[in-house]
Structure 1
Amino acid sequence: MSSSPPPTPPSRASNIEEIRFKSITLPCEWVENYQPGGYHPVHLGDAFNNGQYKVIRKLGEGCHSTVWLARNAKKSRYVALKILISDPSESTIELQILRHISQIAPVEGNKYVTKLLDEFEHQGPNGVHKCLVFELMGPSVTIMVEELPQFKPRRKDMDLRYPPQMAKSILKQSLQAMAFLHRNGISHGDFQPGNMLFTLQDIDSKGEDILRQKENVEFQSISPPVERLDGKQDIWAPRYLCVAQPLTPFTNYGDGFTIKLSDMGGAYFFTDPPKKILTPTGLRPPELVLTGAVDKSLDIWSFGCLVFELMTGQPLFFVPWSEDKSEEIDEHMIALTSALGPLPDELYNHWTSSSLYFTPERELFNCEIGGVNEGEEPLLLEEQSVEELFDQATPDISNEESDAVKALIRRILQYDPAKRPSAEEILLDPWFTRDEVEGNSETATK
């Protein structure tokens, strides 16, 4: 190991020329983001806030934070400790929004959004980090589906999706949470299955030895040691990375399960939309993709896409990542117009590369992203409407219910934001209200 100290890495500016570490292939955060302005290095057993919170397990990570299971020594309970990156330019108004919710509607807010219990700051080698302490929750809707008993053992021919009634309950509960936020002038801004969490059984009485993550490289609960390419010792990164271990075995997912919205890092007040949106690309409405316009129907469009995704187990618009963002836009718009029909002029005119795919008469002649190379034939793919795509996925529901779901998706995914229904209006859709009517009828006959 070289004896001279390594240079301080640049603040949140890593590129291929600035790679410091040997590659880590486990599903963890990018190790290069352990630098000034980035993640705080955490090891199992670390204590925070003068010893009040002891880290015993990693629950997850995102672009702006890592999340840990911690034991609150003062109150003998488990909590989720979210440690944000320290870069002030990447800060969000998450804390401001959470405080606002707790002030204006604490009881209703706790029903729909993960509860903020505490907050403090922590000084580390990469700067000062905001730390948010939340009630402990189970895995996300994205993760839990893979843990359902019917998919154990997993086979390649299985359609990995929630049972229809479970998917419908997830959608309804998340929509009720959205309606609560919207009533209070707040958009979630990152409305997706990864931010919908299941509640847990009571685990406060369980010993730390049951919940503690093992520091075991062989079982891939942690990575091999983090090593610099130059052999020097790094003071900005942890000794190892932890693989997230959601609390799946302790999750309530049977009848009467509860879903709450989490991660308000992309949230904003309707009166002050942000310039940077965190919504996943495939869940973004066309006006945001083509013009950057943000309004209060952003969450609504995302929800419409998720009705399709939760009921079929497949995303409606899968948009592969590309370094060339114009190609991402092209991929998205071709899929979108195929499923939903032609864009209106006010949107189409903002699609600067549309001539690579459509004639002046707006006839599709090519689906090859980036255009047709000289001497080659254009690529034409069969266009399928959202209804055809839904039927092709063969969801496990009756034809009558299938028609109701497809009608709801069409009702939501309208190109004109002003014509999209509100969350409250969607809750009154026949597909959601039918269960209530049937439930009331059954109760009346007992």
Structure 2
Amino acid sequence: MEENQKRVREKYPLYRYSETAFKDVEATEYYRTRRYHPVNSGDTFDDGRYFVHQKLGYGSYATVWIAGDVKSTIKVKKASASTENIEDDLEIQRMKEVETSHAENFPNGPRYFVHLLNCLTVVGPNGSHSCLMMELLGPSLDNVLQAFEYNKQTLRPATILRSSRQLLDAIDSAHQAGFFHGDISYSNVAFTCKTALWNDDDAELFTTMMNNDSPHLVEHPIWPGWKENTCEEIRLIDWADALPVGSAVTRLAQPRRMRAPESFSRDILDYRQDFWQAGCVIYALFFQVKPFSFRWSKGSTDLIQTQIKMLGPLPLAWHGNWEELRLENPIEPPYWNDDMPFSPSLLMTDNFEPRRRAIIDASEANSASEDWYYETDEHTEHDYEGLKCLLDVMKGLFKFDLEIRMSASKAISVIDDAWIDHRKAMMQEMDKIED
């Protein structure tokens, strides 16, 4: 296995991790009654229709495997997250309804949410498991950010703008279908892997690395063959926590650092959580760091203070709630008050233009690099200028006041008014000619 890891790292320098080219496997105790179904490479599902090749990953509710014709995946949910009747699975229902709504409203339009191909139930030693067959995707945004940080690379301006708009489109499509995602995160935004699938040499990415004691405990690669390319798109994945747009709940499953401020100050949460979390993802695409870091020992108080330092004061109506929260969870000064100083090194508005210049400088410096090629052309300056609109987008999505927080559709219009994806349009025209 070590030799295989070395060969992949040498062939794909983008993911040249010293020790983390492959993720750890899940714990063996996950495979017990009502938990994971033991899947092994070489297994088949649906009477041989889907052949299991390689594990892609695992999470709290499922394991995910490359299956079928190596262009699809199978998500095998743990028994406790499955339903006796596959049609009663809420995740499957949400995905089907979003798909149907999109097909009716945008029959020829692009789709930026993961495509459900089929679903079935498998019964095993640990119970009955819902299985979702979906399109094969590449690395998550989380994986890409880690890789680019490790290799000291910068996402291309067009990639930042294109991915931001596509994410907003996916959210808007879901809302038009009557649902909000509720758990948008860096791990639930994934890139397609069209380039890797076009290259037959990348078959080694799916080489199985077995654990001799437990065959279903298979280490999985973090897509070392993925390359930044105009053809790659994003997909919003994991719809297990999606809810009707009209829902008002008291709790949502979400990473703590992505929690919107109203989750600490209000009794109910709604679809506008999606807009805040979209802002977090777009911020990460642009700055290549995640916003709103905090000290775990200080919890929510420290997180809100970070949000204040980056975005500005809370609305006056929130001051009472904030003071109560601060007294319950004391933190060291300076905490929020009328005279709170805002450091230029923390405010997003102060940091935006220096970061945009850094992206431009990195693109120019790497335009002739053998390791990282950026296609400077007649659209390059348009891309550089287009980045400016993302400040207004993030400021709108990061509004503390829910009543004026920018919607996905409005954010899309802000981008469309400032930027045209000329390269994507050219590629689509070429595809039409070839067809």
| TM-score normalized by the length of structure 2 | 0.72
Out of 230, 235, 241, the position equivalent to 1:255 is 230
Inter-partner Cα distance in structure 2 for 1:86 and 1:109: 36
Task: Establish whether residue 138 from structure 1 lines up as the match of residue 115 from structure 2.
Answer: no
Task: Establish whether residue 415 from structure 1 lines up as the match of residue 408 from structure 2.
Answer: no
**Number of the residue aligned with 1:302:** 277
Inter-partner Cα distance in structure 1 for 2:288 and 2:263: 25
Shift of 1:50: 2.9
1:9-68: CA deviation from partner (whole Å, max 9, x where unpaired):
xxxxxxxxxxxxxxxx95333443332222222222222233332211011222111110
Task: Establish whether residue 428 from structure 1 lines up as the match of residue 413 from structure 2.
Answer: yes
Please say if residues 92 and 266 of structure 1, whose CA atoms lie closer than 8 Å, have aligned partners that are also in contact.
no
Higher helix share: 2
Out of 321, 326, 329, the position equivalent to 1:354 is 326
Task: Establish whether residue 167 from structure 1 lines up as the match of residue 164 from structure 2.
Answer: no
**Number of the residue aligned with 1:388:** 350
Please say if residues 311 and 395 of structure 1, whose CA atoms lie closer than 8 Å, have aligned partners that are also in contact.
no
Q: Which structure 2 residues correspond to residues 41-80 of structure 1 after superposition, within 5 A?
A: 41-71=38-68, 78-80=71-73
Please say if residues 30 and 36 of structure 2, whose CA atoms lie closer than 8 Å, have aligned partners that are also in contact.
yes
Q: Secondary structure at the match of 2:111?
A: helix
Inter-partner Cα distance in structure 2 for 1:258 and 1:361: 40
The count of corresponding residues between Structure 1 and Structure 2 is: 369
Out of 29, 32, 36, the position equivalent to 2:29 is 32
Inter-partner Cα distance in structure 1 for 2:232 and 2:258: 25
Task: Select between 184-193 and 267-276 the one with higher mean Cα deviation.
Answer: 267-276
Shift of 1:172: 1.1
Q: Which structure 2 residues correspond to residues 142-157 of structure 1 after superposition, within 5 A?
A: 142-145=142-145
Q: Which structure 2 residues correspond to residues 108-127 of structure 1 after superposition, within 5 A?
A: 111-127=111-127
Q: Secondary structure at the match of 2:51?
A: strand
**Number of the residue aligned with 2:220:** 244
**Number of the residue aligned with 1:200:** 193
Please say if residues 115 and 134 of structure 1, whose CA atoms lie closer than 8 Å, have aligned partners that are also in contact.
yes
- Unaligned stretches of 5+ residues in structure 2: 1-21, 362-383, 427-435
Inter-partner Cα distance in structure 2 for 1:81 and 1:89: 14
**Number of the residue aligned with 1:218:** none
Out of 204, 207, 213, the position equivalent to 2:207 is 213
Q: Secondary structure at the match of 2:240?
A: helix
Shift of 1:119: 0.8
1:172-207: CA deviation from partner (whole Å, max 9, x where unpaired):
111112111122222122223322232233849959
1:208-263: CA deviation from partner (whole Å, max 9, x where unpaired):
97454233xxxxxx5573xxxxxxxxxxxx445222225452x5632243222222
Inter-partner Cα distance in structure 2 for 1:110 and 1:402: 22
Q: Secondary structure at the match of 2:120?
A: strand
Structure whose CA Rg is larger: 1
Kindly provide the amino acid, as one letter, of the partner of residue 213 in structure 1. Answer: T
Q: Tell me: CA distance 1:436–1:36, structure 2 relative to 1, closer, same or farther (3 Å).
A: same
Inter-partner Cα distance in structure 2 for 1:201 and 1:89: 31
Inter-partner Cα distance in structure 1 for 2:142 and 2:337: 38
Q: Secondary structure at the match of 1:129?
A: strand
Inter-partner Cα distance in structure 2 for 1:425 and 1:330: 31
Out of 78, 81, 88, the position equivalent to 1:85 is 78
**Number of the residue aligned with 2:380:** none
- Unaligned stretches of 5+ residues in structure 1: 1-24, 216-221, 226-237, 366-379
Q: Secondary structure at the match of 2:55?
A: strand
Task: Select between 266-275 and 291-300 the one with higher mean Cα deviation.
Answer: 266-275
Q: Tell me: CA distance 1:64–1:99, structure 2 relative to 1, closer, same or farther (3 Å).
A: same
Inter-partner Cα distance in structure 2 for 1:108 and 1:130: 30
RMSD across aligned C-alpha pairs, in angstroms?
A: 3.8
Inter-partner Cα distance in structure 2 for 1:361 and 1:48: 56
**Number of the residue aligned with 2:369:** none
Q: Secondary structure at the match of 1:264?
A: coil
Shift of 1:408: 3.0
Inter-partner Cα distance in structure 1 for 2:306 and 2:24: 29
Inter-partner Cα distance in structure 1 for 2:47 and 2:23: 32
Please say if residues 101 and 109 of structure 1, whose CA atoms lie closer than 8 Å, have aligned partners that are also in contact.
no
Shift of 1:336: 1.0
Kindly provide the amino acid, as one letter, of the partner of residue 396 in structure 1. Answer: I
Q: Tell me: CA distance 1:122–1:346, structure 2 relative to 1, closer, same or farther (3 Å).
A: farther
Please say if residues 98 and 173 of structure 2, whose CA atoms lie closer than 8 Å, have aligned partners that are also in contact.
no
Inter-partner Cα distance in structure 1 for 2:337 and 2:202: 63
**Number of the residue aligned with 2:262:** 287
**Number of the residue aligned with 2:377:** none
Task: Establish whether residue 331 from structure 1 lines up as the match of residue 311 from structure 2.
Answer: no
Inter-partner Cα distance in structure 1 for 2:319 and 2:242: 28
Inter-partner Cα distance in structure 2 for 1:93 and 1:400: 42
Kindly provide the amino acid, as one letter, of the partner of residue 385 in structure 1. Answer: L
Q: Tell me: CA distance 1:41–1:183, structure 2 relative to 1, closer, same or farther (3 Å).
A: same
Kindly provide the amino acid, as one letter, of the partner of residue 101 in structure 1. Answer: V
Shift of 1:108: 6.1
Q: Secondary structure at the match of 2:274?
A: helix
Task: Select between 122-131 and 290-299 the one with higher mean Cα deviation.
Answer: 290-299
Q: Tell me: CA distance 1:383–1:92, structure 2 relative to 1, closer, same or farther (3 Å).
A: farther
Shift of 1:268: 1.6
Please say if residues 122 and 131 of structure 2, whose CA atoms lie closer than 8 Å, have aligned partners that are also in contact.
yes
Shift of 1:284: 1.8
1:263-289: CA deviation from partner (whole Å, max 9, x where unpaired):
212222112355542332222210013
Kindly provide the amino acid, as one letter, of the partner of residue 50 in structure 2. Answer: Y
Q: Which structure 2 residues correspond to residues 362-401 of structure 1 after superposition, within 5 A?
A: 362=337, 384-390=346-352, 393=355, 395-397=358-360
Inter-partner Cα distance in structure 2 for 1:345 and 1:92: 43
Kindly provide the amino acid, as one letter, of the partner of residue 266 in structure 1. Answer: D
Inter-partner Cα distance in structure 1 for 2:29 and 2:390: 44
Task: Establish whether residue 100 from structure 1 lines up as the match of residue 62 from structure 2.
Answer: no
Out of 229, 247, 252, the position equivalent to 1:277 is 252
**Number of the residue aligned with 2:183:** 190
Q: Secondary structure at the match of 1:411?
A: helix
